[in-house]
Structure 1
Amino acid sequence: MEHKALWTLKFFNFDPSKTQNKRRRQMLELEEMWLHAYDSSRSYKEQLKSKWSGPFIVKSVRPHGAIELVDPAANDQQSSWVVNGQRLKHYLGGEVERLSTVMKLVDP
């Protein structure tokens, strides 16, 4: 009997227009958050594209696959940034200057 009374009380307190308005507000908030996230990701990708526009020189290799890069076309050769080594691709365009070391072995 208590269960039926509680259900009847809930049924009489139920207002479909309030529920509908609440649900509509929640959907609008969700859509607003989605649009904000989309705009943020688009601007972040544009920033990355401007930074990654050409061949770079590897300045140093750090532990756990981190690589420090330098842009040879930049005015400031001291400015560098660290990236994940797995994100790098081999440069396949044109000739690349290769440095070689020659060591002469001498008998003691």
Structure 2
Amino acid sequence: MSEVGTHRRLQLSELEELRNDAYESAKIYKEKTKVFHDRHIIRKSFQVGDKVLLYNSRLHLFPSKLRSRWVGPYIVKSVFRHGAIEILNPSTKAVSKVNGQRLKPILELPSDRVVEVMDLYEPLYFDD
């Protein structure tokens, strides 16, 4: 009976070692995945006066494939240290405070582009 009990305790300790190894490997995998994910995150920084678009989170209730999930443009009025941003709606002059993760900057082309105009004329045909 004591040999069977010893064998059973040995099996239980081996099972506990396997569980600990699985736990450690899962922990290492999660740490590596987090490092990989954090390395590919692009941090957003906004300045006062920037034009931004606001993510419309209410669209999930009534999904539509062709409707844009971004509304705007808004103008950044003030930036807080903890990630909140005050935005101004230029059309209604309403100010609201939103999380900075719900915003994305608008990339605009320079407005002082040179436009070249070329007039095209019909070619002249001569009858022989």
**TM class, shorter-length:** 0.3 to 0.5
TM-score normalised by L of structure 2? 0.37
| The structure with more helix, counted as a fraction of residues | 1
Greater relative CO, 1 or 2 (CA 8 Å, sep 6+) = 2
TM-score normalised by L of structure 1? 0.42
| The structure with more strand, counted as a fraction of residues | 2
